[in-house]
A and B are shown apart, each in its own frame.
Chain A
Amino acid sequence: TALTLLIFYFFILIQAAWSLKTRALTEMVYVDEIDMDEEGIAEMVLDENAIAQVARPGTSLKLPGTSQGGGPSPAVRPVTQSGRPITGFVRPSTQSGRPSTMEQAIKTPRTALTARPITSASGRYVRLGTASMLTNPDGPFINLSRLNLAKYAQKPKLAKALFEYIFHHENDVKNVSNSCVPFSVFVKYHSALDLAALATEHAQFKDWWWKVQIGKCYYRLGLYREAEKQFKSALKQQDMVDTILYLAKVYLRLDQPVTALNVFKQGLDRFPGEVTLICGIARIYEEMNNISSAAEYYKEVLKQDNTHVEAIACIGSNHFYSDQPEIALRFYRRLLQMGVYNCQLFNNLGLCCFYAQQYDMTLSSFERALFLAENQEETADVWYNLGHVAVGIGDLNLAYQCFRLTLVNNNDYAEAYNNLAVLEMRKGHVEQARALLQTASSLAPHMYEPHFNFAILSEKVGDLQRSYTAAQKSEEAFPGHVDTQQLIKQLKQHFAML
């Protein structure tokens, strides 16, 4: 009996060590996946998860152009590719838009910054938060295919550690070519799901944690309705901020922002003042183009947590675009005080200083930004803004050089092409201006400026037909633009006379 006892203890020791190592490996690659989420091209173009195909304005994330909250117009606040005003804080979903065709969707990632993964499963999950591409000289720590999941599911403590390991660490596979990635990724989700299903059965469906995990697996597999069921069931057993956030994410995928807002608001009843929930509400309002409500909720966030970078940045940019650069400057300085020290911040500071007429600080801020730039895209941004400043002070030569430098650093910079074209036009180089504008409009069809400029240019040289088509495109991108409307009216009169 002494021997059996010894063996028994030995096993317990081994289990403890095993569990510890699993957890350590997981910790190494763990990333909070609530924020780390992006819809892939495939999901976006091929899936129809939304119920309403044409929802009422203000109840859907699909129609960003229909603002209800009275945000600034695109003439004041530039828009992203999706037609949404740019935000003060870059998150995975704030950058890229919803292209209408597959071709457009595939082509867009080629313009560096707006990259979208092919599917959400092969996207950031592989790049972030996984032990991706790391080969272990001794082979994998756990060989998943040999694992008897049913056995582990019986042991709650081991099962949880194992699940997290499979979910986070084994997310990706080693030594496989890129095209095979999705295959193996799904297999891993599958085993994670199997394990979770077995474990929750073992816990007689009473353990909310397992339900959340099953929901997470379903979510990654794209089974949103099943995920919703699991999260709801988990919430019934145990109120958890995490679960609420996941549930809201499901509703956002189903394109039901109002339901997601309700989920958050109900969550706030149970967890009053919870920053992540308020922040979630603000983000949804922002995505729905309801800037004033978004700003209100961001302020609410700051009341609870006055070091919340996202809230400060968003409020700052909102002030900047609503013509209050001095106030925006205060928010950006606050960020600086908190230790945020990067290119983008100095860029913003420079712009704020310029518009607040503190010229002495402007150029030094941009200089600092140039020092801190980590890659060419950031450098391009700084040069572009410098060009803007140069236009502002009337030094067109400097402006010309700045925009050229922007294009040297990033030759996809549609805004720079547009501005350059305007400068060329002033010089009277019509052909060059036209070429630049065409480049700009093909790079960024969502921007109205190149279209409008092109329309004006064509009208001047007497090419009314082209002018009309370009004006129509411009109106499509920004329906409320008065100048475009006037131009179209004028052109129609011309045509009528003919």
Chain B
Amino acid sequence: MVQSNQDSDISLLNINQGITCLASGVLNPQLGYDCLLVGTQTNLLAYDVYNNSDLFYREVSDGANAIVLGKLGDISSPLAIIGGNCALQGFDYEGNDLFWTVTGDNVRSLALCDFDGDGKTELLVGSEDFDIRVFKEDEILAEMSETETITALSPMYGSRFGYALANGTVGVYDKTARYWRIKSKNHAMSIHAFDLNSDGVCELITGWSNGKVDARSDRTGEVIFKDNFASSIAGVVEGDYRMDGSTQLICCSVDGEVRGYLPGGEELKGNLMDTSAEQDLIRELSQKKQNLLLELRNYEENAKAELNAQLKEADGQRGVIPANTQLQTALSVNLGSDSQSAHVELCISTTNDTIIRAVLIFAEGIFEGESHVVHPSLQNLSGCVRVPLTPPKDVPVDLHIKAFVGYRNSTQFHVFELTRQLPRFSMYALSSPDSATEPLSFVNCTTNERPQRIIMWLNQSFLLPEDAEFQSAPFQVCFTSLRNAGQLCIKIKPGGEISINTDDIDLAGDIIQSMASFLAIEDLQVEADFPAYFEELRKVLVKVDEHHAVNQRLTADMAEHSNLIRSVLVQAEDARLLGDMKHMKTRYIELYDLNRDLINQYKIRCNNHTELLNNLKAVNQAIQRAGRLRVGKPKTQVISACRDAIRSNNFNVLFRIMRVGTASS
């Protein structure tokens, strides 16, 4: 870009709205140079800075929280993909939306990455429901659950990508497997992939809220370079800023301090840390030595104890326990009492008279801070510890348990480590079938699977007191949710027809998805009806319409008011220049009143807008939920058909699509 004014290095652009996201890149291949994309709460502007002209200006009612520019899948032209409230939209350079789909919650971060290694890029979406979803165009390839809102995603190379969470976690995924992650008490403000040590592999550069910048190896997460700024980092980017042909890593702090880093030369051989790195290594090694010495001493003590086998009572103190001691864990559903709400109970017990001194459980997404320690007081020590669990979401969770086992007066304990998986639908208690309270809503589908396999899935995903057996064709099993006491019935009828009765559309979607992935079903069409939910949705749709109408009115009102204010202001100034103080005063009083009105109106408009946003989000979520009731092709069909129905404002068709999956009967 040619600078318009030689004196200043900065040219300012005026957008007139709060900017929520920014991107730049080649959007129009024929143009041959970059354009600037500016996302605001309501609009997306593609702007050609060089020519001071718009490529397009689009209204995006779902907002633009994140933006990424690039090619997606088989779509030939580059797209500007924006993530809003539950919606994803992709625009080409003419402003046509070539890509649209819905996702589970508000999108916070986007990235393009060749996830499945087919040479085409897939879209990674990080959202506020802690999920990273991978879209191959319209279709979801994978979903990874994290423990916090995903604030940043950055493709590294191949199928590898980095991520950052709102709680200060940074890590790297390769496909669906997590390579490493670290957690800090600071927040990661920006992450970027850059090959800082010239070893041909990108490192993950993280800018932290305390002003630290570090580069971590993509394989191990080991810090290979770090630097400190005086204030929080605002962003990390790369570019040939000095125009000397080499790309630099550029970090900028919120105070406006900008530092550029050139990749290290060949002679460094990837070793960027100076002498202090070697010292660190020595320190690390000596610590290892210390640990090993400690361990050795323990063994020696034990050996001594074995020699003096007759000193029985002292055994416990030294931490010797019977060799056949085992740690047993059991998961069960506890329906709760007056003092305690219903929960899943994890019971950890030993097989003999030893006691458990402490239990340390590590599990993602169940406890605040991911780990939980139970440390009974000395009086209450026993061989059995019960831990209540209430997983907030229906996801399978691995519980990593570490228990300290010994005797009451031991000073040293044995640590038992074991891993137990919490089934996906553990928060549902088996109940007796009761037709009176059976939910009206249902999902029906037909599969060719043997019922036995479905029962297998049932046993694996639910916490059943004893494994269910399949006897004859009409098979029924009922559950009560521990969260809200909602009913869930799963029936298997002869002919492979499965019906799931629940009022919770999310739960139904989860069950369908879980079952489909267990049974490896590729395409599944269902018939569904959720009368209560659909009625609510209908109300929301009506409200959206009303809000749109009101919004138009309010916008016109605002414009009218601001025009008035302008003319009054000019008149007041006019009076001032003429020295007509009396008139000037009246004008300014008028102006004051008008201004107050305007502010009031603005508040109304803001409220209206937030409500509209919430309602639109609800609509997008409804489409997403309707999609989740299906698998494979029917799913994408439902989502796109729903969108068409909403575009043409045809509510009846929308509900029909949600029920049967297609617009035509």
- By a beta-carbon cutoff of 8 Å, the part of chain A in contact with chain B is 40-43, 45-57, 59-60, 102-103, 106-107, 118-119, 121-122, 179, 182-183, 186-187, 189-190, 193-194, 197, 217-218, 221-223, 225-226, 228-229, 251, 254-259, 262
Contacts and interface: CB of A to CB of B under 8 A. Distances in A.
Nearest to B51: A258
**Chain A interface mostly:** helix
B651 to A, nearest CB: 15
B288 interface: no
B563 A106 contact: no
Given A42-B569, A56-B4, A182-B564, A106 B13 contact: no
Given A57-B4, A221-B556, A221-B559, A259 B570 contact: no
A257 B52 CA distance: 8
A52 B11 contact: yes
Interface stretch (B42-50, B222-230, B392-400, B626-634): B42-50
A414 B68 CA distance: 56
A182 B57 contact: no
A46 B567 CA distance: 10
Q: Which of B15, B47, B54, B560 is the most central at the interface, judged by chain A CB atoms within 10 Å of its CB?
A: B560
The 4 closest A-B pairs by CB, nearest first: A42-B566, A259-B53, A59-B52, A221-B559
Interface in B14-32: 14-16
B563 A51 contact: no
Contacts of B1: 56
Contacts of A56: 1-2, 4, 50-52
A42 B572 CA distance: 12
Contact of B555 (A41, A189, A226, A254): A226
B569 A54 contact: no
Nearest to A43: B566
B59 interface: yes
A52 B13 contact: yes
Contacts of B364: none
B199 interface: no
26 contacts: A40-B570, A41-B570, A51-B14, A52-B13, A53-B13, A55-B52, A56-B51, A59-B52, A102-B570, A106-B574, A106-B577, A179-B571, A182-B563, A182-B564, A182-B567, A186-B560, A189-B560, A221-B560, A221-B563, A222-B559, A222-B562, A226-B555, A251-B54, A254-B54, A256-B52, A258-B48
Nearest to B583: A179
Q: Which of B566, B567, B574 is the most central at the interface, judged by chain A CB atoms within 10 Å of its CB?
A: B567
Nearest to B560: A186
B12 A54 contact: yes
A255 B573 CA distance: 26
B563 A222 contact: yes
Interface of B: 1-2, 4-5, 8, 11-16, 43, 45, 47-54, 57, 59, 552-553, 555-557, 559-560, 562-564, 566-567, 569-571, 573-574, 577
B4 A51 contact: no
A121 B54 CA distance: 26
A205 B432 CA distance: 55
B567 A103 contact: no
Contact of A53 (B11, B49, B555, B563): B11
B570 A53 contact: no
B54 A106 contact: no
B570 A118 contact: yes
Given A42-B567, A59-B51, A256-B53, 9 more contacts: A42-B566, A42-B570, A46-B566, A52-B11, A54-B4, A54-B5, A56-B1, A119-B567, A221-B560
Contacts of B560: 186-187, 189-190, 221
Contact of B11 (A45, A54, A179, A258): A54
Contacts of B2: 56
Given A103-B577, A186-B563, A222-B562, A193 B570 contact: no
A51 B13 contact: yes
Nearest to A52: B52
B566 A53 contact: no
Nearest to B587: A179
Contacts of B43: 225
B51 A225 contact: no
A481 B54 CA distance: 36
Contacts of A226: 555
Contacts of B52: 51-52, 55-56, 59-60, 255-258
